[in-house]
Amino acid sequence: MSNVYIYGMKHLLLIQCADRVGLVHSITGILSAHGLNITAMREFVDEAAGRFFTRIEFRGEIANNTALRQELSDKLPAGAVITIDPKQRKKIAVLVTREHHCLGDILVRNFFNTLHAEVACVIGNYDELQGFTEQFGVPFYHVPHQDKPKDLFEQEILHIVEPLGVDYLVLAKFMRILSPEFVGAFQGRIINIHHSFLPAFIGANPYRQAFERGVKIIGATAHFVTNDLDEGPIIFQQTTHVDHTFGVAEMVTTGKEIERSVLSAALELVFQNRVFVTGNKTIVFK
């Protein structure tokens, strides 16, 4: 172990595995043996599940990435998921219907390289957003859902996204429910924005429900999609105040702002590798 204080390139290490005593010691021992210096570290054990999660930022030069991974793998429980320096810019496909507010935000960030991801394409079951998308130089595919069985509709989407090798599908106000088969093909890789502070107002027309109920807050929820509709692991949520002067239309307008803001924050967390999934929950190392 060196006493010399070293700065060097920034690296990131993500690990999840079964928990046992000594994991942090094993992991950090390997890093220090390589002369790598930890600058920020988060660790969490889901005690109910017996699962261990860590996110480690460190500095220094990695002589041999493969060797480092192997050393870690040898010391960790079987089945450990180890990620060293994950892809800086994930590749994503954005699925939309007709609303533009979330898509607009994503495309502007993509244009200026502040999304921490690259939009490979936008797919819409309507074509309203085609012109808007294409003006950013991003391909738009119109895949109507009408007059065809759901499996065919989903096959058409798969045929577009599979050759692109996308890391995540982002449902940016995509109003179709995906089949278990489709969701299964993108396990943990579909992110949705839901227009309420779940679990309130599950189902259709949440803003009308909110108006009828006379709530004083509305909100939005970004979550991973699972086969239980509106029930996947929540990544981020936020609420904002409304009052008696808000009709349904004003709630929708205000809701769009919070939807956009919540999806944006969730994508930032995911694309910066700060989110782990454990059971039906997320661990978010902000």
Residue 223 buriedness (CB in 10 A; 0-12 / 13-18 / 19+): buried
Minimum distance from CB of 162 to a copy of itself (Å)?
29
CB-nearer residue toward a copy of itself: 99 or 167: 99
DSSP string, 109-128: HHHTT-SSEEEEEEEESSST
Where in 131-285 does DSSP place strands (E)? Answer: 140-142, 168-171, 190-194, 217-224, 234-241, 275-278, 281-284
CB-nearer residue toward a copy of itself: 179 or 239: 239
Minimum distance from CB of 252 to a copy of itself (Å)?
11
3-state secondary structure of 76: coil
Interatomic CA distance for residues 284 and 277, integer angstroms: 9
Minimum distance from CB of 17 to a copy of itself (Å)?
12
C-alpha dist (Å) from residue 59 to 4, 8, 24, 43, 217: 13, 5, 17, 18, 43
Catalytic residue among 19, 105, 230, 243: 230
End-to-end CA distance of the chain: 30
- Provide the pairing of β-strand 217-224 with 234-241: antiparallel
CB-nearer residue toward a copy of itself: 14 or 31: 31
CB-nearer residue toward a copy of itself: 97 or 278: 278
Whether the Cβ atoms of residue 216 and residue 246 lie closer than 8 Å to each other: no
Minimum distance from CB of 286 to a copy of itself (Å)?
8
Interatomic CA distance for residues 63 and 221, integer angstroms: 42
Minimum distance from CB of 77 to a copy of itself (Å)?
8
CB-nearer residue toward a copy of itself: 78 or 165: 78
- 230 an active-site residue? yes
Residues with catalytic function: 230
